[in-house]
């Protein structure tokens, strides 16, 4: 069965690109429009990996990572956050919250796939 990856991002175009790239790579994708939506979906859907933006309305990426790690089903899944160069302190915050790694925006589809392969094996 294909592995399921959730993309949590308030930007529809980024979600579209991430989804498109991951589906090309043979993964199933669940989309969430912000942290709150993601957390809700995570409690009912089993995912193998989470890719989340940091800046989102309602619940931001850090909050989502903390919330996800508190769910038994998400305790050990890879969580990758989308950051920008200028957010180095956020990166540390994210790691402390339990993020596995990060992707620096802007990224190309191949870079996304490389990171997915790296953390998902």
Partner 1 sequence: MIDQHRQAFKEEAYELLAELETSLLELEEQPDDVDVIGRVFRAMHTIKGSGSMFGFDDIAAFTHEVETIFDMVRNGKLKVTGRLVNLTLAARDQIRAMLDGADDGGGGVDLKASGEIIMGLRELAGFQPAAAEPPEAAAAAQKPVNLATYRIRFAPSRDIFITGTNPLTLLQELKELGTCSVVAQTGDFPCLEEIDPEACYVYWDLILTTDQGDNAIRDVFIFVEDDCELRIEQVAEHTQFDEPQDYKKLGMILLERGDITTEEMEEILAQQHKFGELAVSNGILDQGKVQSALVEQRHVKEVRQEKQATEAASSIRVPAERLDLLVNLVGEMVTVQARLSQTAAQREDAELVAIAEEVERLTAELRDSALNIRMLPIGSTFSKFKRLVRDLSVELGKQIEITTEGAETELDKTVIEKLNDPLVHLIRNSIDHGIELPEARVEAGKPAHGTVHLAAVHSGDSVVITIDDDGAGLDKEAIRAKAIEKGIIAATAELSDKELFSLIFAPGFSTAKKISSVSGRGVGMDVVKRAIELLRGSIDISSVQGKGTRIAVKIPLTLAIIESLRVQIGEDSFMLPLSLVDECVELTREDVERSHGRNLAHVRAQLIPYIPLREHFRIQGTPPEIQQIVITQMNGSRVGFVVDQVIGEHQTVIKSLGRAYRDVDGISGATILGDGSVALILDVPQLLQAVEAGQA
Q: Could you list the residues that contact partner 1 (CB under 8 A)?
A: 1-2, 10-14, 16-17, 20, 23-27, 55-57, 69, 75-79, 82, 84, 86, 95, 98-102, 105-108, 118-121
Where are the alpha helices (H) located in the chain, listed in sequence order? 12-24, 35-44, 61-70, 88-97, 109-120
Q: Quick one: residue 104, left, alpha or beta (phi over 0 = left, psi -120 to 50 = alpha)?
A: beta
Shortest approach of partner 1 to residue 77 CB, angstroms?
A: 5
Tokens of 102: 């990060």
- The three-state secondary structure class of 71 is coil
CB of 38 to partner 1, least distance (A): 15
- Identity of the residue, 17 or 30, whose beta carbon is nearer to partner 1 in the bound complex: 17
Closest to 116 (Cα-Cα) out of 98, 97, 99, 103: 103
| Residue 85 beta carbon to partner 1: minimum distance, rounded to whole angstroms | 8
Smaller CB distance to partner 1: residue 44 or 121? 121
Name the residue nearer to partner 1 (CB basis): 93 or 98.
98
């Amino acid at each position: 069965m294909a592995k399921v990856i959730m993309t949590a991002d308030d930007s529809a175009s980024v979600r579209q690109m991430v989804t498109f790239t991951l589906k090309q790579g043979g993964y199933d994708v669940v989309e969430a429009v912000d942290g709150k939506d993601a957390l809700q979906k995570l409690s009912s859907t089993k995912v193998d990996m989470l890719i989340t933006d940091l800046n989102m309305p309602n619940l931001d990426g850090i909050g989502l990572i903390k919330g996800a790690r508190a769910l038994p089903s998400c305790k050990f899944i890879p969580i990758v956050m989308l950051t920008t160069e200028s957010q180095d302190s956020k990166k540390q915050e994210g790691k402390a919250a339990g993020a596995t790694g990060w992707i620096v925006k802007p990224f190309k589809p191949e870079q996304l796939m490389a990171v997915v392969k790296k953390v998902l094996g």
